Structure 1
Amino acid sequence: MAHRQDKTSLAQIEKEDYLQYAYDYQPDNKDVEHLRILLHGPNGSGKSSFINSVETSLRNRMSGQALVGVGQDSFTIKYETHKIQKMKPGTFYPFVFNDIMGLERCENKGICVDDIKLAMKGHMKDGYVFNPQSPFTSADAHYNSSPTINDQTHVLVSVVSSSTVSIMSDEIMNKMRDVRRAARDLGIPQMAILTKIDEACPEVQSDLRKVNKSKFVKNQIEKLSAALGIPLNCIFPVKNYHSEICKDDQIETLILMALRQMIDFGEDFVNNIVETFEG
């Protein structure tokens, strides 16, 4: 029993360290109001749930700011910027998340790849409703013709479910690689989160502390790395809050570990920008 309590205490200490890091963070670049983190990936991979899990971890209460659906169709239909309240109303953490419609294998379903590219460049305003049959253009009322450094994406995060890595279609993989190449050309740093590790691995489901020792999770990370070309040390396995009604230190340690990498990557990127971004 004492051994279990020691491990729980270690998880709490790790979580508190990550929480403090996020709380203390402020961009060094004074032109930057906040880091913009764009999540993309297949429909149902857990993008919105990850945003809620981050907010739950940081605000010390269950959160559902990003609406989450259950089923085959993408529940996210609008381009939205999610801010996380810090201490009191009107104060926010200096990083935001952009949630977008999921990718699907068919050309007339899911988000258009070109829409993601324009969003990364900062041309898409909040409130734009994605249309799988009609790509976003400069004629749309939500088109930002003069994006600033604060409008563009600073970190691109690929979100993939561990239960679908092995069965993801070539069409979706090609779309994700296309997005990654566009981000590369813009100099945007990239990483990935592997979600639903508990659903795909019984060992991890029984004890989340075993995630780093799980051969299954390790194998899925390697498969995702090979498929998308993302370095192994830039892929973070996580479990989003899903059915839980109480907070969990183990869940939040993994979530906050991934968040810290996003902050570090974004900070490095904006510090390397000499001139204001021009789209």
Structure 2
Amino acid sequence: TNPNMGSSLSKPDFITVLANKQVKSGETIKLSCEASTEVVTAMWEKNGTKLSCVNDKHFIRDHGTMFSLEIANAQESDEGKYTINLKNKKGEISCSSHVRVELKEWRTFDLNQKRLIDTLKGFKICNKVPELHFLMYGPVGAGKSSTINTIKTIFEGRPFINCLAAALSEESHTKHFDRFDVSKENGSYPFAFYDTMGVQAKKGVLVEDIISALKGHIKVGYRWDPQIPISEDDKYYLKNPSLCDRMHCLLFIIPADKFAFMGNDFLQQFKTVSEAARNLGVPQVVLMTRVDSICEMTRDNLRNIYKSKKIRKK
């Protein structure tokens, strides 16, 4: 701050403003701007309140018309909106910077897609069942059908869009119990995906039907009824399913940007189905979709998914 205010005092303005910053954990955050005059009082804020400086952590400097803030050893708690306010008798002005701290990966994964796909293509199954069955379960618009489209596109090497998706719809496009194989040159891979009607209040697939499907009681082609579960007299009901008829893995397809807004009814259905799968000894996997919709880091680069705090909290 320079208290020497002469007759030529003018309202402060910015020549350069604070820039948004993204740094890695442990690095130094450096924010700086240049004002049109040095005759100002400067005050820094974080998320709308005066910045509480910590010794050996925050370093505030001003040299003439240059103003800067450095934050040492960046941590998750240092993320936020930083604002500098410049003020004198003629007026005041402010500018802000959004600071993101990139975490160390909290989960590692193989980025070599070819190696991963080759491993799956060479997958061998035991003699008790000819193939593994994956049951897709999740709310309307979660991406169940889109996930199947993507898997088939990757493994078959050609675009596949026959599985109708309902990403922006309030009603499930999946009306029947559908099966999708993953084809290869001499047949198909030893796994198949079963698509179900989406979960929604009063219109979605019933918990009883999902549990029946897990047990292998429902045949492909059954038309889902949101009001009445399948009966043992239905022609699509298999009374004595074998291990080959059952589902071997339950895939929960959950949209990252909508899960927090789902009501208690859905969460209770989710819990009931999960408990049933556990009692049946069926492994469960959660596949989170739309991860680029809730976080700038994943929107900029999906490889940042395991560095995102928002994804980790989900």
Give your verdict on TM over 0.5.
Answer: yes
| Equivalent residue, structure 2, for 1:94 | 190
| Equivalent residue, structure 2, for 1:240 | none
2:179 equivalent among 81, 92, 99 = 81
Deviation at 1:31, TM superposition (A): 2.2
| Rg (Cα) greater in structure | 2
Q: Aligned ranges for residues 257-268 of structure 1 at < 5 Å?
A: none
Q: Indicate whether 1:161 and 2:255 are aligned.
A: yes
- Flag the structure with higher strand content: 2
One-letter amino acid of the structure 2 residue matched with residue 99 of structure 1: D
Shift of the 49–180 alpha-carbon distance from structure 1 to 2, 3 Å rule, reads same
Q: Aligned ranges for residues 224-263 of structure 1 at < 5 Å?
A: none
Classify the secondary structure of the residue corresponding to 2:229.
Answer: coil
1:36 equivalent among 126, 129, 133 = 133
| Equivalent residue, structure 1, for 2:297 | 203
**2 CA distance for matches of 1:182 and 1:12?**
32
**2 CA distance for matches of 1:144 and 1:135?**
14
Shift of the 135–204 alpha-carbon distance from structure 1 to 2, 3 Å rule, reads same
CA contact (8 A) 2:178 2:196 kept: yes
**2 CA distance for matches of 1:156 and 1:127?**
19
Q: Aligned ranges for residues 103-182 of structure 1 at < 5 Å?
A: 103-104=199-200, 106=201, 108-182=202-276
Over 3 Å off, 4+ runs: none
Shift of the 13–175 alpha-carbon distance from structure 1 to 2, 3 Å rule, reads closer
Deviation at 1:65, TM superposition (A): 3.3
CA contact (8 A) 2:178 2:194 kept: yes
**2 CA distance for matches of 1:111 and 1:147?**
21
**2 CA distance for matches of 1:170 and 1:13?**
36
Deviation at 1:12, TM superposition (A): 9.8
Classify the secondary structure of the residue corresponding to 2:184.
Answer: coil
Gaps of 5+ in 1: 1-10, 221-279
Q: Indicate whether 1:19 and 2:117 are aligned.
A: yes
CA contact (8 A) 2:256 2:294 kept: yes
Higher relative contact order, chain-length normalized (CA < 8 Å, sep 6+): 1
| Equivalent residue, structure 1, for 2:32 | none
Shift of the 128–72 alpha-carbon distance from structure 1 to 2, 3 Å rule, reads same
**1 CA distance for matches of 2:184 and 2:283?**
25
Aligned residue-pair number: 205
Deviation at 1:200, TM superposition (A): 2.0
Deviation at 1:100, TM superposition (A): 0.1
When normalised by structure 2's length, the TM-score is 0.63
Q: CA RMSD in A?
A: 1.5
Gaps of 5+ in 2: 1-108
**1 CA distance for matches of 2:206 and 2:110?**
41
Deviation at 1:61, TM superposition (A): 2.0
1:130-164 CA deviation, whole Å, 9 max, x = no partner? 01011111111101112111110100111110001
Comparing 203-212 with 156-165, which one deviates more in the overlay? Answer: 203-212
- Flag the structure with higher helix content: 1
**2 CA distance for matches of 1:23 and 1:13?**
17
One-letter amino acid of the structure 1 residue matched with residue 150 of structure 2: S
Deviation at 1:13, TM superposition (A): 6.6
| Equivalent residue, structure 2, for 1:53 | 150
Q: Aligned ranges for residues 207-222 of structure 1 at < 5 Å?
A: 207-220=301-314
**1 CA distance for matches of 2:250 and 2:131?**
15
